[in-house]
Structure 1
Amino acid sequence: MKVENISYRINSRILFNNISFDTSNSGLTLITGKNGSGKSTLLKVLLGIVQPYSGSLISEEKVSYVPDSSDNYFIGLSPNLLFGFLQKQFFIETNLFEERLRELREQFYLNEKLMTQTIQSLSLGEKKKVMLIAAFLLDSDLYVMDEPLSGLDQISVENLLQLMEQKINLGKRFIIVSHERQEILPTVDQIISL
């Protein structure tokens, strides 16, 4: 993804101005800033969910998105239904899908009981695990994640960071918003401060 001079404003308030970066040579891009600085909005601009005030971005990659909260996404679905939907929507071969899902459920400790509950009824950490598994099931080129470590237990944080490192070694890229700089910093290639 190549981002050139992206700016965004709400009425007369400028959230960010002339942001430029390129992920082609970066395994992990970290976006930081104070609360309300526009980090999550920048991710939504990068995903095409909202339009920038000015600037351009070029992306031809398969992208997976992990929102900060899943409350507005997939209300009423169970993880089983969500994952099954993704398999059908993205034409993932059944054996490959089942193997990926088994591995990811083991890494994030998502047990069978949780697979049948509604996502809405899960704890923050469990919701985050569901969203991470959904993203990694798609085996995308670029992963865009808003606060992926929030709500996770320490073992899941370690497993996520290890999985990210494995994906980066395979040529995958990440754009992450996180306040957990110390956890992520050792693997960061570039930092965008808002």
Structure 2
Amino acid sequence: MKVENISYRVNSRILFDHISFDTSNSGLTLITGKNGAGKSTLLKVLLGIVQPYSGSLISDEKVSYVPDSSDNYFIGLSPNLLFEFLQKQFFIETNLFEERLRELREQFYLNEKLMTQTIQSLSLGEKKKVMLIAAFLLDSDLYVMDEPLSGLDQVSVENLIHLIEQKINLGKHFIIVSHERQEILPTVDQIISL
């Protein structure tokens, strides 16, 4: 993804101005800033959910998105239904899908009981695990994640960091918004401060 001079305004307030970066030579791009600085909005601009005030972005990668909260997503769905939908929507071969899902559920300790509950009824950490599993099921080129470590237990944090490192070593790219200390994450190639 190549971002050139992206700006975003809300009424007369400038949230961010002339942001430029390129993920093609970066495994991990970290976006930091205070609350209200526009980090989540920048991710939504990058994903095409909202339009920038000015600037351009070029992206032809397959993208997976992990929002900070799932409260407005997946209403009425269980993890099972969400994962089955993704398999059908993205034409993931059944054996490959089942193997990926099994591995990811083991890494994030998502047990069978949770698979049939509605996503809204899950705890914050369980919701985050569902969203992470959904993102990694798609085996995308670019992963865009908003606070992916929030709500996770220590073992799941360690497993997520290991998984990110593995994907980067396979040539995948990450754009992550995080309040966490930079040292917790794998090697950060570029930092965008808002």
- 1:116 pairs with 2:112: no
Q: 1:187 to 1:10 in 2, by over 3 A?
A: same
Number of residues paired by the alignment? 194
Distance in 1 of aligned mates of 2:65 and 2:186: 22
Superimposed CA distance per residue, residues 14-65 of structure 1 (whole angstroms, 9 cap, x where no aligned partner): 0000000000000000000000000000000000000000000000000000
Bigger shift: residues 173-182 or 29-38 = 173-182
Q: State the TM-score, normalized to the length of structure 1.
A: 0.99
Q: Give the CA deviation at 1:183.
A: 4.5
Identity across aligned pairs (percent)? 94
Instruction: Give the match's secondary structure for 1:82.
Output: helix
Instruction: Give the match's secondary structure for 1:187.
Output: coil
Instruction: Give the match's secondary structure for 2:43.
Output: helix
Distance in 2 of aligned mates of 1:126 and 1:185: 20
Instruction: Give the match's secondary structure for 1:175.
Output: strand
**1:139 corresponds to:** 139
Superimposed CA distance per residue, residues 137-164 of structure 1 (whole angstroms, 9 cap, x where no aligned partner): 0000000000000000000000000000
Distance in 2 of aligned mates of 1:106 and 1:183: 25
Instruction: Give the match's secondary structure for 2:192.
Output: strand
Q: State the TM-score, normalized to the length of structure 2.
A: 0.99
Q: 1:182 to 1:4 in 2, by over 3 A?
A: closer
Q: Give the CA deviation at 1:187.
A: 1.4
Superimposed CA distance per residue, residues 93-150 of structure 1 (whole angstroms, 9 cap, x where no aligned partner): 0000000000000000000000000000000000000000000000000000000000
Distance in 2 of aligned mates of 1:75 and 1:176: 25
Superimposed CA distance per residue, residues 57-90 of structure 1 (whole angstroms, 9 cap, x where no aligned partner): 0000000000000010001100000000000000
Distance in 1 of aligned mates of 2:106 and 2:183: 22
Distance in 2 of aligned mates of 1:30 and 1:107: 23
Distance in 1 of aligned mates of 2:11 and 2:37: 15
Distance in 1 of aligned mates of 2:187 and 2:31: 13
